Amino acid sequence: MNDAQLLRYSRHILLNELGDTGQETLLNSHALVLGAGGLGSAAALYLAASGVGRITLVDHDVVDLTNLQRQIAHTTDRIGEPKVASARQSMLALNPDIDIHIFSQRADAAWLHEHMPQVDVALDCTDNFTTRHALNAACVAHAVPLVSGAVIRFDAQLTTYDTRHPDSPCYACVFPPDDAPEEISCATMGVLAPLVGVIGSLQAAEALKLLAGIGDSLAGRLQLLDGHNLSWTEMRLQRQSDCPVCRHRPNT
């Protein structure tokens, strides 16, 4: 690190669990953020500010006035622009020294399997069941940990799927692909704006921990947040031996 980086990341370097070695690890890491909406805004901004050296951001949508209530990476003067371009501008304003790759498109299975081998951690910041499963399948195939978040109305959830560990379930173990729930979105159900910031920020924190090897991850534990009274509940998640996605995972 140069002198400017030592100053920029000084509060990280002061942490015994991270230090200059851990910060160097972050600078040499690659995070994939799928979705540049509410969750992705907070997650991407904190990953950028924290010095993750390479970030790939994928989203097919453009900035809309209705997004600005919660999607803090975007601004009013960027309405109509691709969300990934808007988010990249905000990320570089925070930290111009990192490498940000943007893709204004849907991330289908082919795209994910092509790009996943270069990724160290993936963040699921989407709101689409099909895309979540495609991302999960690619993460399982390439042994990449997946940090997943979701928010609707006053309810939120957060977990990590890390199939590098034999007992850790994948997304399909918990939400089978042939049992799709009814699609709901904040466009019809509403969402309390700061909750997406809370979960997106925690996704970034979890990703940083995974990259630097700090503490225990959320693998096997689903955190549920009730925004009405700001209470957390934890559920234990089990790997399913008959899971169609991870039962033949390469590392077991």
The set of catalytic residues is 186
Axis-axis angle for helices 193-212, 19-27 (nearest 10) = 110
* Strands ordered across the beta sheet of 99-103: 99-103, 54-58, 30-34, 121-124, 146-152, 155-161, 221-226, 231-236
Query: Which residue is associated with the tokens 């700061």?
Result: 194
Residues 208-222 as b/e (b if ≥16 CB within 10 A, e otherwise) read: bbbbbeeeebbbbeb
> What 3-state class would DSSP assign to 24?
helix
140 close to 245: Cβ distance less than 8 angstroms:
yes
| 135, HSE (Cβ side, Cα atoms, 13 Å) | 28
Q: What is the C-alpha separation between 36 and 46, in angstroms, rounded?
A: 13
Q: What is the C-alpha separation between 134 and 224, in angstroms, rounded?
A: 23
Q: What is the C-alpha separation between 33 and 190, in angstroms, rounded?
A: 23
159 close to 221: Cβ distance less than 8 angstroms:
yes
- Tokens representing 199 are 């979960």
Distance of CA 248 to the CA centre of its chain: 25
